[in-house]
Amino acid sequence: MTRTGASTQTDGSAYRPEFILVEREVESLPMSVRIRERLPEVPFLPVDRVDSWLSEVGNSRDPLRAGKKILYLTRHQGQVLKTCQGMCAHVSCCLYHVVDFACNCPLDCSYCLLQNYLNHPLIRVYVNTEEMLQELEGRLQRLGSTVLRVGTGELTDSLALDRYTLLSGELVPLFARYPTAALELKTKTAEIDSLGRLEHRGRTVISWSLNTPRMIAGEEWGASRLEERLLAARRCSDWGYPVGFHFDPLVWYAGWESEYRETVQQMFDIVGPGRIAWISLGAFRGPAGLLDTVRERFPDSTLPLGELLPGVDGKLRYFRPLRVEMFRKMVGWIRAVRPAQTVYLCMESPRVWEQVFGFRATTADVGRLLDAAVLP
Ligand code: SF4
């Protein structure tokens, strides 16, 4: 067997790496020690360079899948808190900030933008956590009355590695100390056990990306089933956390209407209206090369069947009237259960906002909407 040749889980059970590589310089940091202790049976290999591993992964049949079997513990360089990459001139953004404690994801969604974005297939975990948290706290201390919403789920799933890093145990109490700060932990897993005992004071929103059971089974490799996610959301809500949901990507396929409608209903049935801070909607989109990647890595995927057109930002999207129709229907199904529910669009223009909601939301409007949803 080669170093990266064995298979991993495909059913949403907990992720477990096959190898842990650690840069010698960070081997003794507390986070490296913690991960090693929590995965005692996984080979833990100090390295000076990872080149030989990268070339072996690169020679495998699916380098992206093979790279996900290896955790690479390394140091984060550069600024910790960044603005979300969605912020650009053409769309109304939500003024979100991100902190990346890891880069690359144990899950493997067919539509994942990381496939065309990362130049390194291993799962990098940044283990200089104490420095990163100190820098983040410095920013929180200077907030005053400014609201800051921060997520950790831009380049990975926020909770898929939490059973090994226990990072939520540091982040959630940190944000609990700052009344105008809000942390969002976004996931497709049911990895919530460590959240139940944490002091959160409502400053952390636990959120789930949702899709129909058909899309989850066909397009979200390694993720938890819909019902598992919703039951996890219910438990977090019972622990007092605000919860959020992201229907992103909404995928057009024959029968999408009845299946998304049922998914919305199931969300409210299990979690309950009135417990949800926000719901976002985002239609399937991606860079020009994404569909080629999907066809190559996921030959059974239905994503390439939809008609996608390049927009002004060069990204492929569904034709605007189709997106508007999907958003309007989703908003209608959501607001039929809870008329006051905060719903927003991800990476859409003021024109699309107007066609869906009847007003041209600017970036500042969307920011205020979400600030209001999460402030006490
Ligand atoms: S959960 Fe998110 S980051 Fe992870 S593979 Fe899926 S889309 Fe990519």
Ligand 1 atom closest to Cα of residue 108: 5
Indicate the SS3 state at residue 219. Answer: helix
Determine how β-strand 243-250 pairs with β-strand 204-210.
parallel
- Which pLDDT score is estimated for 315? 87
Mutate which of 15, 105, 221, 229 for ligand 1 pocket (most atoms within 8 A of beta carbon): 105
Q: How much is the average pLDDT of 248-261?
A: 97
Ligand 1 atom closest to Cα of residue 111: 7
Give percent of the chain with pLDDT exceeding 90: 86
CA dist list (Å): 339 to 187, 236, 280, 335: 26, 23, 15, 4
Write down the residue that tokens 């090369």 correspond to. 289
Q: Which two tokens stand for residue 48?
A: 């000076």
pLDDT tens-digit readout, 199-241: 999 999 999 999 999 999 999 999 999 999 999 999 999 999 9
Structure-model confidence comparison of residues 88 and 5, the more confident one: 88
Q: What is the mean pLDDT of the chain?
A: 93
223 close to 246: Cβ distance less than 8 angstroms: no
Select the CATH number that applies to the domain covering 79-100+129-374 from these four: 3.90.550.10, 3.30.70.1560, 3.80.30.30, 3.40.640.10: 3.80.30.30
Ligand 1 atom closest to Cα of residue 105: 4
Mutate which of 84, 112, 189, 221 for ligand 1 pocket (most atoms within 8 A of beta carbon): 112
Q: Which two tokens stand for residue 165?
A: 């890093």
Provide CB contacts within 8 A for 19, sequence distance 6+: 3, 4, 42, 43, 45, 53, 69, 70, 71
- Which pLDDT score is estimated for 218? 96
- Which pLDDT score is estimated for 311? 83
On the CB side of 32, CA atoms within 13 Å amount to: 21
Phi and psi at 281, nearest 5°, equal -125, 130
Ligand 1 atom closest to Cα of residue 115: 8
Any idea which of 32-36, 294-298, 304-308 has the lowest mean pLDDT?
304-308
283 close to 249: Cβ distance less than 8 angstroms: yes
Q: How far, in Å, is the centroid of ligand 1 from the Cα of 157?
A: 6
Ligand 1, atom 7: closest residue by C-alpha: 112
- Which pLDDT score is estimated for 1? 31
The domain spans of the chain are 79-100+129-374
Q: Which two tokens stand for residue 322?
A: 């189709």
Side chain identity, residue 96 = Y
In angstroms, the CA 158 to CA 239 distance is: 18
52 close to 3: Cβ distance less than 8 angstroms: no
Ligand 1, atom 3: closest residue by C-alpha: 156
What is the layout of strands, in order, in the sheet containing 276-283? 81-83, 97-99, 148-151, 181-187, 204-210, 243-250, 276-283, 343-345
Q: Which two tokens stand for residue 231?
A: 């039951």
Ligand 1 atom closest to Cα of residue 107: 5
User: Which of 156, 155, 182 has its CA nearest to residue 171?
Assistant: 182
Q: How far, in Å, is the centroid of ligand 1 from the Cα of 141?
A: 31
Q: How far, in Å, is the centroid of ligand 1 from the Cα of 187?
A: 9
In angstroms, the CA 33 to CA 368 distance is: 41
Ligand 1 atom closest to Cα of residue 114: 8
- Which pLDDT score is estimated for 6? 35
User: Which of 4, 146, 25, 147 has its CA nearest to residue 75?
Assistant: 25
CA dist list (Å): 345 to 44, 246, 300, 360: 43, 10, 28, 12
On the CB side of 260, CA atoms within 13 Å amount to: 24
Q: How confident is the model at residue 88 (pLDDT cuts 50, 70, 90)?
A: low
Ligand 1 atom closest to Cα of residue 223: 1
Ligand 1, atom 1: closest residue by C-alpha: 157
Mutate which of 154, 156, 219 for ligand 1 pocket (most atoms within 8 A of beta carbon): 156
Q: How far, in Å, is the centroid of ligand 1 from the Cα of 56?
A: 23
Q: How far, in Å, is the centroid of ligand 1 from the Cα of 286?
A: 13
Write down the residue that tokens 């605000």 correspond to. 242
In angstroms, the CA 113 to CA 287 distance is: 8
Q: How far, in Å, is the centroid of ligand 1 from the Cα of 339?
A: 30
Q: How much is the average pLDDT of 69-84?
A: 95
DSSP 317-335: EE-HHHHHHHHHHHHHHHH
Residue 285 has pLDDT above 60, yes or no: yes
Residues with CB under 6 A from ligand 1: 105, 107-109, 112, 114, 156-157, 188
pLDDT tens-digit readout, 98-149: 999 999 999 999 999 999 988 889 999 999 999 999 999 999 999 998 999 9
In angstroms, the CA 2 to CA 134 distance is: 40
Ligand 1, atom 6: closest residue by C-alpha: 109
Q: Which two tokens stand for residue 64?
A: 């992206």
Residue 9 has pLDDT above 50, yes or no: no
Provide CB contacts within 8 A for 60, sequence distance 6+: 2, 4, 5, 66
Any idea which of 26-30, 72-76, 284-288 has the lowest mean pLDDT?
284-288
Q: How far, in Å, is the centroid of ligand 1 from the Cα of 142?
A: 32
Q: Which two tokens stand for residue 79?
A: 């600024």
In angstroms, the CA 107 to CA 220 distance is: 7
User: Which of 223, 176, 217 has its CA nearest to residue 200?
Assistant: 176
